[in-house]
Structures are given as C-alpha cells and as structure tokens.
C-alpha cells in the first residue's frame, strides 16, 4: 500500500487549493496534490503516493548509485565474465 | 519509465547477487518491513538469487494485514448504514470480517466506493451533502500526510458530513516491539523507503544502537532491494550496526518536513492494536481533540465490537517473522486468495498472498 511511483511535473493548476499539479507517468497524466512539496518545479521528477507528490527525485544521487552499480558491471565484462 | 526501468535491470541484479554471495560467510536472518518489498521480493524470485544461508523473513508492514479485525467489523457496520457512502482504498474491501466483507456489502447494494486518493473522498462528501461520507484511513507514515490533508481540507470546507475511520500505524515502534521480544531472531532490517520519505530515518538510529542491529533504508525495485541486502550483509559481516540509506535518490535524513507538519496538524500519537500482534504502545495516530468531529467511531457511536480470529490462522507469527506462510497448516487449502481466512492472504502485499501467487 505504500506504493509510490515516479513521474514528471508538467504544470501546476493555477489558483488551486490545495495546490495541485499535472504529473506525467510514462504517458499517463494525473492531477496530483503538490501541497507536501512547496519547493517543486515544472520538469522535476517526483514520486506520487495516493494522489500526493511526496518527494522530488534527486538526480545526482540517482546517478551516483547507478554509476556505482554499472562500474561493478564493467569490471565484470573487462574480466571476460 | 525513467527511474523505474534502471532498477529492474537483470544484469545489475545479477552483479549484486554475486557480490552478496561473495561476502556472505555466516547464516543471517534479515527482515524487510514493508509489504511492497515483500511483494517485490517474492514476485521477482529474489530469494533464489541469495545465498541459502541468508534467510529473509517478512515483517508487519502491510497496513491491510495489521488493521485489527475490530476495525474491519466497524467499517462493515458503518457501510451497512442506509445514509452512508463508505470510501476506502481498494485493498481493504476483501478483508473478511466475522460474517461478511465490504465487497459483499457493496454487492448487496451498500454504497461502498473505492477511491484512489483520500481527497477523492472529500470531493464525494462535497457533492453529496445529504449523505454521510466516511473514509477508511489506514496506512503507515507514508499515507498519513495524505489522510491528514483530507481532514484538513474537510475542515477548511467546513464539511459536516465527512469523517474518517482511523487506524494508522507506525513502523519504528513495531520494530522495537519485534526486537525487544525474547523470540526475536531478526539480525538486520531493510527499512521501508517510502515511510522514511516522509519521516526520515533519525528515529531508527537509537534502535540500531540499542539492539545492535543494522538498518538500511531501502527502495522497492529488485535492484534496490538487492542493493539494500548487500549493504546490510556488509554491515553484519563487519559487525557494524549503523543506519544507512540505499534509497538516497528519494529519502533524506530528516524526511519531508511539510508532510510531517501536515500529519501533526491533524493527528497525535496513540496506542494502537495490531492484528496478529496485539497492542503496541505509541504505535499509531489518532485525530487530535480539535478534529474529533471528523472521527467516524465517535460520530456513529459504535462502542466495543467483538471479533473472532479464525483459530487456524498464524498470521501473528508470520508478521513477526517467526513462521513463513507455507508453514501454516491451511495455507493454499482452506485459505486461498479467493477464500482468505486471514488478512495476509487478502492483500497483494500480504506475505501469504505473495507466496500463493508466486511460489506455488
Ligand atoms: S495462510 Fe491464511 S490462515 Fe494461514 S497464516 Fe496466512 S492468512 Fe492466516
């Protein structure tokens, strides 16, 4: 039930209360509540749970984790495995 | 999809699996707390990628599974009332009460509606001023700000016909409950990433210290989970017991302040009883005094409700990591997802249902 999925903020709904925005989840758009992320901007990736955006995805951290994992992968290929 | 596909990549999973094999020298028992992680582990067959000496047990982190039977009974009693629209997340509808479930109430003409968001329930209340609209507010910390925001919004709109049946539970007191039991055999935890998205992970630091257990905040995709397990085993093998964060792209140490504020605008900490486990002190939320007019239990004056657990069901042991689903005598025979005896067979995040669907 704690499922939360990533999507990209496309726009904010003007004068909405609570503050709402349109988030694109791989082609499917939904209007979600932005009240928990006052600092979010258009084009930010966020994760959404039960209609609420709850966190902005940190691109740098994501890249860093993936870089670590793929470095390990290249090492394996170099070793001919 | 960006931020999903990368974490489902079989090559990355394979590399992580090999690393875990390479560093594991002793038998370890670790627990994932969250039902979403249980589902992901069982569905993607992660246990097959792990050393046989590494035992993964499934924790109490499925809100559907730990909502007390008394609450399910209360939900059914409210939904049966003539002037009520009962709203809920879909997973709660099939949980069996003593004689029926919400889905049957709906099939027999009750106005029971599945909502995606608690704000949808508020909108239904706005549109139907002549009806009482009740929302079944269950969930962990992840869901609490959304449920709080619904009450907050109803107050702002001055709605008199909206209330919640509140059964909110918290993760850290449940971990403490498990660790302080003499039966405990869990040596390390994967903490639930989305719970920590809201609350951060400072609360886990004293627990790791007090009980000498490493805790790794972990995401939900297979690569995340294997990465979390690798971090956990690395700590166990080195004799460390720190709180670490695998899910750093989403989770910050202090969590989401705005969400926490929203929770504590509306809720306060209370004792909660957990299905299969019993009462755990300070393990949930209830509405603050100034919001009691949104409390469905008061509004409908339900009083104490008796509920009987089916005697064969060992859900309590499963939720504490003492047994696995296939060790239950009625698993897959008298108890199936079509005819569940206990909540872990109902929810797709319940350990029994996950085993039934993916391990048969
Ligand atoms: S298989 Fe069914 S009866 Fe057995 S523990 Fe799971 S839910 Fe309970």
Tell me how close the Cα of A62 comes to any Cα of chain B, in angstroms: 5
pLDDT tens, position by position, A9-41: 999 999 998 999 999 998 999 999 999 999 999
What pLDDT does A77 receive? Answer: 52
How far, in Å, is the centroid of ligand 1 from the Cα of B338?
A: 12
From B193, B43, B261, B39, select the one nearest A38 (Cα to Cα): B261
Mean pLDDT per 10-residue segment, chain B (360 residues) = 83 90 95 88 88 91 88 95 95 88 94 96 97 96 96 97 96 92 93 95 96 96 94 96 95 96 97 89 95 95 83 88 91 92 85 86
Q: Which atom of ligand 1 is nearest to the CA of B331?
A: 1
Q: Are strands B132-139 and A52-56 parallel, antiparallel or unpaired?
A: unpaired
* A60 to chain B, closest Cα gap in Å: 8
pLDDT at A81 over 50: no
Shortest Cα distance from A76 to chain B (angstroms)? 8
| Overall number of domains in chain A | 1
B259 occurs within a structural domain: yes
Whether B291 maps to a domain, the answer reads yes
* CATH number where B107 lies: 3.40.50.11740
Distances (CA, A) of A47 to A26, B56, B114, B119, B269: 13, 27, 22, 17, 26
Q: Which residues of B155-177 are buried (b: 16+ CB within 10 A; e: fewer)?
A: beeebebbbbbbbbbbbbbbbbb
**What is the CATH classification number for the domain harbouring A10?**
2.30.30.140
Q: List strand residue ranges (DSSP E) for chain B, in order.
A: 28-34, 54-61, 84-88, 112-114, 132-139, 162-169, 188-192, 215-218, 243-245, 267-274, 278-287
Domain that holds residue B155: 66-170+255-299
Give the pLDDT of residue B214.
98
Say how many CB pairs under 8 Å bridge A and B: 127
Q: Residue A2 above 80 pLDDT?
A: no
Q: Residue B120 has what pLDDT?
A: 96
- Phi and psi at residue A2, to the nearest 5°: -85, 20
Does B211 map to a domain?
no
Question: What is the domain count for chain B?
Answer: 1
* B117 found inside a domain: yes
User: A66 is in which domain, residue-wise?
Assistant: 4-79
Ligand 1 centre from B76 Cα, in Å? 22
pLDDT value at residue B310: 86
Subunit contact A76:B347, Cβ cutoff 8 A: no
Integer Cα distance of B160 and B129 in angstroms = 8
Give the residue on A whose Cα is nearest the Cα of B348: A1
Name every chain B residue with its beta carbon within 8 A of the beta carbon of A36.
Answer: 145, 149, 256, 258-259, 262
Indicate whether residue B351 lines ligand 1 (CB < 6 A).
no
Supply the pTM of this predicted model: 0.92
Is the predicted pLDDT of residue A80 greater than 80, yes or no?
no
B350, part of any domain: no
Residue contact A1–B227, C-beta within 8 A: no
**Ligand 1 pocket, B334 CB below 6 A?**
no
B-chain CB neighbours of A49 within 8 Å are: 142-143, 146, 194
Gap from CA of B134 to ligand 1 centroid (Å): 29
A76 confidence band (pLDDT: 50, 70, 90): low
Record the tokens describing residue B265, joined without a space.
């605008």
> How far is the centre of ligand 1, averaged over its atoms, from the C-alpha of B123 (Å)?
37
């Amino acid at each position: 039930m704690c499922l939360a999925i990533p999507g990209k903020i496309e726009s904010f709904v003007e004068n909405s209360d609570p503050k709402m925005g349109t988030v694109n989840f791989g082609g499917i758009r939904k209007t979600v509540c932005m009240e928990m992320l006052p600092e979010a901007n258009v084009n930010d990736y966020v994760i959404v749970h039960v209609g609420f955006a709850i966190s902005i995805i940190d691109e740098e951290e994501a890249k860093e984790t993936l870089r670590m994992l793929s470095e390990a992968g290249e090492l394996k290929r170099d070793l001919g495995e | 999809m960006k931020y999903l596909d990368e974490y489902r990549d079989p090559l990355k999973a394979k590399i992580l699996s090999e690393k875990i094999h390479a560093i594991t020298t002793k038998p370890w028992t670790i627990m994932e707390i969250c039902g979403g992680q249980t589902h992901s582990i069982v569905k993607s067959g992660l246990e097959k990628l792990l050393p046989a000496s590494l035992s993964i047990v499934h924790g109490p982190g499925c809100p559907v599974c730990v909502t007390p039977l008394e609450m399910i009974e209360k939900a059914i009693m409210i939904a049966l009332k003539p002037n009520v629209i009962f709203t809920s997340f879909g997973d709660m509808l099939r949980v069996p009460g003593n004689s029926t479930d919400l889905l049957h109430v709906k099939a027999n003409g009750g106005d029971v509606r599945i909502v995606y968001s608690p704000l949808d329930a508020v909108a239904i209340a706005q549109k139907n001023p002549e009806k009482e609209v009740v929302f079944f507010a269950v969930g962990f910390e992840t869901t609490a700000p959304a449920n709080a925001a619904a009450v907050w919004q109803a107050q702002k709109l001055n709605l008199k016909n909206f209330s919640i049946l509140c059964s909110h539970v918290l993760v850290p007191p449940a971990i403490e409950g498990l660790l302080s039991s003499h039966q405990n055999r869990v040596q390390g935890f994967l903490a639930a990433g989305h719970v920590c998205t809201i609350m951060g992970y400072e609360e886990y630091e004293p627990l790791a210290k007090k009980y000498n257990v490493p805790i790794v905040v972990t995401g939900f995709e297979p690569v995340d989970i294997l990465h979390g397990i690798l971090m956990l085993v690395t700590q166990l093998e080195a004799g460390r017991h720190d709180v670490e964060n695998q899910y750093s792209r989403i989770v910050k140490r202090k969590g989401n302040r705005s969400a926490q504020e929203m929770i504590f605008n509306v809720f306060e900490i209370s004792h909660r009883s957990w299905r299969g486990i019993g009462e755990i002190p300070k393990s949930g939320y209830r509405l603050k005094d100034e919001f009691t007019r949104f409390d469905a239990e008061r509004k409908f004056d339900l009083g104490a409700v008796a509920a009987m657990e089916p005697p064969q069901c060992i859900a309590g042991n499963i939720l504490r990591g003492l047994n696995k689903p296939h060790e239950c005598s009625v698993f897959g025979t008298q108890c199936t997802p079509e005819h569940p005896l206990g909540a872990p067979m109902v929810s797709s995040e319940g350990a029994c249902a996950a085993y039934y669907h993916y391990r048969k």
